[in-house]
Amino acid sequence: MFEHEKDQPVLELTRQQAKLLLRNTRHGRLAFVADGQIEVLPVNYAFDGKKLYFRTAPGAKLLAAESQAMVAFETDGILPDEGWSVVVRGNISTVAEEDIDYVRGLGLAPWVPTHKDFFVSLSVTDMTGRHFIFARQPERGDEQTFRYDPDQPRSTPPQDPDPTKLSR
């Protein structure tokens, strides 16, 4: 699914790739401003291809939804040799009563056994994603730099880093 060019450890994802990752992940972080402070809160979610849906209790997330605040949402995945991140921006709002059965049908349920009686949706206005191949960061002046060959099973980071060199 993720085809990097040779020696390129970072891949900008297509919208289709980002959507696929959103559909197959159920957790992330919601960031927004509340009372002049930046809040970043973990959430579980469902994605129907157009909107993200959350459940919440009374509090900052619900207040943000009631005011249709602009928010950012991030989800990611990390494996031993690779990782990815998808960021969504848009406005959140409360879900209309007549749409709650639809949202329930997406499999959205709280992970924690607490009352989360309110349904919130995030309308996607911007979506970006990146996929990463992990390796030690090369230091400036290293003779051997990062090598990645998509035909090889693993990346090859530079060996024996010099701890006296600082990355900038």
pLDDT of residue 53: 97
Q: What's the chain's average pLDDT? A: 84
pLDDT of residue 144: 59
158 — pLDDT class (breaks 50, 70, 90): very low
**Domains, the chain, ordered by start:** 11-129 (2.30.110.10)
Tell me the three state secondary structure of residue 28: strand
Is residue 163 over pLDDT 60?
no
Please write the tens of the pLDDT for every residue from 75-90: 999 888 888 999 999 9
Is residue 54 over pLDDT 90?
yes
| Cα angle: 138, vertex 142, 145; to 5 degrees | 55
Is residue 161 over pLDDT 90?
no
pLDDT of residue 150: 62
CA pair distance 74, 13, nearest whole angstrom: 14
Better-predicted residue by pLDDT, 71 or 153? 71
pTM: 0.80
Is residue 15 over pLDDT 80?
yes
Is residue 13 over pLDDT 70?
yes
Each as own residue / partner, the long-range contacts of residues 2-8 (CB below 8 Å, 24 or more positions apart, any chain) are 2/82, 2/84, 2/131, 3/150, 4/131, 4/133, 4/148, 4/150, 5/150, 6/148, 6/149, 6/150, 7/146, 7/147, 7/148, 7/149, 8/148
pLDDT of residue 143: 64
pLDDT of residue 160: 52
Phi, psi of 7 (to 5 degrees): 60, 25
Decide: residue 129, CB within 10 A, 0-12 exposed, 13-18 middle, 19+ buried.
Answer: buried
